[in-house]
Structure 1
Amino acid sequence: MRINNNLMAMNAHRQLGINNDSVAKSLEKLSSGYRINRAGDDAAGLSISEKMRGQIRGLNMASKNAQDDISLIQTSEGALNETHAILQRMRELAVQSANDTNVTIDRQALQAEVDQLGSEISRISRDTEFNTQKLLDGSFQDKVFHIGANEGQNIKLSVGSIDGKYLGIQTQYAVDGSGIKATDASGNPTGNTIAVFKNVGDTLVSESSGVEEVLANTAGYYVLASGGDVTQELFRTADKAFASGEILTLGVNIYSQATADKSITQINNALDKVSAERSKLGAYQNRLEHTIKNLDNVAENLQASESRIRDVDMAKEMMEFTKQNILQQAATAMLAQANQAPQTVLQLLK
């Protein structure tokens, strides 16, 4: 018998250390809920899990992006909805003015409301914005909506202008001191006939085919009719003569039965343009709603896959912990027994 090296105690101590490490790892897994807490637990699994986590977070942010995109679209569509309502009211007034039961003073009152409604449409176009970005003035073009977790996963949206000029219910003239010239958005002449009326109804220049300019030094009604058959008229009441360098904005003219009748078609065309823009935005919104559902579904499935790799099976790990805990207690007891073995040597010395 040897007492300098207690091999039984050394073996029991080694096993106790192994059991202690196993119990500690089980406790870490049970307390964290993760099977992989460090690279040493599963190097390959950790690498795959981290890639999945990056993808999951990207998908969640893409879903949030799409929700923000829908908010922007809803802001635009809400403004277009109000523009629709204004145009419907303008059409209603045009239909009313086209009835000859109205006299001049009645049509003047109707015209005053139409002028204000036209100005409000332009104000909506100018002031509607989302996060300081103008939406309906024509500047919101080719904006990128990033709706994926990776590079290049995006769509583009452009929102057209809904100001009076685009809708065809207003146009502007720069007064140069010698006359007023009608121009389109590119600066080209748009009309063949211009008529100018004073408030009292006296005609100064009436339906002169081919005329592009008229003198602008007389207060009154300034009307542009485009085309030789006078199919469209734009109108504004002038309370004063316009000086050189001023901008004259002309709007829908319902001041007479004939012009009111023609304005109905003009407003119908504007309604069609707004409807087309709203339809486009609605299509984008529906698409984005499906995009969000898909992103959330993919993120959910990817999260489940990542969980199977990284999360601990609590029931299985609890069984392992119980086993290691029993072995730990057994090793402790055996170490105590092994430490008692050298005591038998004393019996030989008596």
Structure 2
Amino acid sequence: MRINHNIAALNTHRMLNSATGAQAKSMEKLASGLRINRAGDDAAGLAISEKMRGQVRGLEQASRNSQDAISLIQTAEGALNETHSILQRMRELSVQSANGTNTDEDRDALNKEVVELKSEIDRISSQTEFNTQKLIDGTFGTQVDQDTTSSTILAVAGVTGANTNGGVDAGTWTITAGDGVAVPTGAFSISDGTTTLVSQVWTDGDAGTLTFGNGEITVSLNNAALGADLDATAIVISGSGNTFQIGANENQTLALSIGDMSTKGLSVDGVDISTSTGAQSAITSIDTAIKSVSDERAKLGANQNRLEHTINNLSTSSENLTAAESRIRDVDMAKEMMEQTKNSILSQAAQAMLAQSNQMPQGVLQLLR
């Protein structure tokens, strides 16, 4: 028998600490409802779970974005519905004015209504907006960013210049020059294919508009007339418009453009039914305008239907990812309760055994009697 070291008590104490620690962890999991409360619980599971959480939150926000996009489309479509009604009335008046039974005074009276109807079309076009963004005045287009694919410094006639090559999509773009760079207005017209543009620098100038088809564009800055080195000047090509973020990840977007639905954009600004000839011409012009509005509304309707399916898909994806994340991170309450009960019993038993083991050295006193 030894009294300096109570091995039984030490072993019991170690088991008591183990049971108490396991019980504390079980209580933490039961209180939080999570199997993983810190990285030490499951490092790999935590990393996977956090990625899934990010995706779920992104999907939920994308769903809200899609709902906002539908609201925007409905706003534009509602305005175009009224534009349609006005155009139908204008066509009706044009057909009436084209009839030979009308006098000049009759046609003047009919034309006055047409003038007011055209003003209303322009008012609708200029004032229809969503979150301060004009929708049907032609400024709500498709935003496509231009990415620089290469940049090379060349020597041109003894002058150092800078070339920038980049691929861009079809559309209307504005080349904005910084201080000291001139971009002549209306100087560019690009067709499909690869085209090189050269603009001189070192003189102040205004921005120009660049319209082009599909293909690649090379914009070069140099100044062969000056016998001195020039610093490279950046060119930013930007277009007005909008894209909707309808996914949780990069480039999961929907591009939407809405045409100019004003009388000028619909080519009915010059409609005049004060004469029989003008009325006949107006019928054709208004028919074309009605078709343009119909096409625009059809496009908006198609995008709205697409977004509704997008929202359904986002909801399903979010639900499935949430379930997957739950299986990784959430605790099985019934199983953990069993563990907690087991550890509680072990802890109580260890405490009792520790008391017993502490009494064992007392047996030495019996030898001294």
TM over 0.5: yes
TM-score range, shorter chain: 0.7 to 0.9
Aligned to 2:274: 255
Aligned to 2:312: 293
Q: Quick check: 122-131 or 309-318, which moved more?
A: 122-131
Aligned to 1:207: none
Aligned to 1:327: 346
Q: Structure 2 stretches of 5 or more lacking a match? A: 143-241
User: How many Å apart are 1:272 and its aligned residue?
Assistant: 0.7
Q: Quick check: 62-71 or 323-332, which moved more?
A: 62-71
Q: Do residues 155 (structure 1) and 254 (structure 2) align? A: yes
Aligned to 1:166: 265
Q: Please give the TM-score of this superposition, normalised by the length of structure 1.
A: 0.73
User: What letter corresponds to residue 69 of structure 2 in structure 1?
Assistant: D
User: How far apart, in 2, do the equivalents of 1:257 and 1:141 lie?
Assistant: 38
Q: Do residues 277 (structure 1) and 316 (structure 2) align? A: no
Aligned to 2:185: none
Which of 350, 363, 368 is the matching residue for 1:344? 363
Q: Quick check: 96-105 or 278-287, which moved more?
A: 96-105
User: How many Å apart are 1:28 and its aligned residue?
Assistant: 0.7
Q: Quick check: 158-167 or 137-146, which moved more?
A: 137-146
User: How many Å apart are 1:258 and its aligned residue?
Assistant: 4.1
User: How far apart, in 2, do the equivalents of 1:158 and 1:92 lie?
Assistant: 30
Aligned to 1:29: 29
User: How far apart, in 1, do the equivalents of 2:23 and 2:52 lie?
Assistant: 29
Aligned pairs for 1:167-246 (under 5 A) are 167-170=266-269, 234=270
User: How far apart, in 2, do the equivalents of 1:168 and 1:32 lie?
Assistant: 66
Which of 308, 312, 317 is the matching residue for 2:327? 308
User: What letter corresponds to residue 163 of structure 1 in structure 2?
Assistant: S
Aligned to 1:61: 61
User: How far apart, in 1, do the equivalents of 2:89 and 2:274 lie?
Assistant: 16
Residues paired across the two proteins, number = 270
Aligned pairs for 1:108-147 (under 5 A) are 108-142=108-142, 143-147=242-246
* Secondary structure, counterpart of 2:5 in structure 1: coil
User: How far apart, in 1, do the equivalents of 2:55 and 2:324 lie?
Assistant: 12
The structure where helix makes up a greater share of residues is 1
User: How far apart, in 1, do the equivalents of 2:345 and 2:89 lie?
Assistant: 85
Aligned to 2:287: 268
Q: Quick check: 78-87 or 21-30, which moved more?
A: 78-87
Aligned to 1:231: none
User: How far apart, in 1, do the equivalents of 2:281 and 2:139 lie?
Assistant: 31
Q: Quick check: 5-14 or 26-35, which moved more?
A: 5-14
* Secondary structure, counterpart of 1:155 in structure 2: strand
User: How far apart, in 2, do the equivalents of 1:293 and 1:111 lie?
Assistant: 49
How far does the alpha carbon of each residue in 1:160-187 deviate from its partner, in whole angstroms, 9 at most, with x for none? Answer: 00111121211xxxxxxxxxxxxxxxxx
| Percent identical | 65
Aligned to 2:7: 7
User: What letter corresponds to residue 98 of structure 1 in structure 2?
Assistant: A
* Secondary structure, counterpart of 2:141 in structure 1: coil
User: How many Å apart are 1:20 and its aligned residue?
Assistant: 0.3
User: How many Å apart are 1:100 and its aligned residue?
Assistant: 4.3
* Secondary structure, counterpart of 2:265 in structure 1: helix
User: How far apart, in 2, do the equivalents of 1:101 and 1:337 lie?
Assistant: 121
Q: Structure 1 stretches of 5 or more lacking a match? A: 171-233, 235-251
User: What letter corresponds to residue 249 of structure 2 in structure 1?
Assistant: N
User: What letter corresponds to residue 260 of structure 2 in structure 1?
Assistant: S
User: How many Å apart are 1:60 and its aligned residue?
Assistant: 1.7
* Secondary structure, counterpart of 1:150 in structure 2: coil
Aligned to 1:86: 86
Q: Do residues 95 (structure 1) and 194 (structure 2) align? A: no
How far does the alpha carbon of each residue in 1:128-166 deviate from its partner, in whole angstroms, 9 at most, with x for none? Answer: 222222211112121222222222222321110011112
Q: CA RMSD in A?
A: 1.7
User: How many Å apart are 1:101 and its aligned residue?
Assistant: 4.4
Q: Quick check: 96-105 or 294-303, which moved more?
A: 96-105
User: How many Å apart are 1:34 and its aligned residue?
Assistant: 0.9
How far does the alpha carbon of each residue in 1:192-234 deviate from its partner, in whole angstroms, 9 at most, with x for none? Answer: xxxxxxxxxxxxxxxxxxxxxxxxxxxxxxxxxxxxxxxxxx3
User: How many Å apart are 1:276 and its aligned residue?
Assistant: 0.4
User: How far apart, in 2, do the equivalents of 1:140 and 1:114 lie?
Assistant: 27
User: How far apart, in 1, do the equivalents of 2:97 and 2:53 lie?
Assistant: 66
Q: Quick check: 96-105 or 53-62, which moved more?
A: 96-105
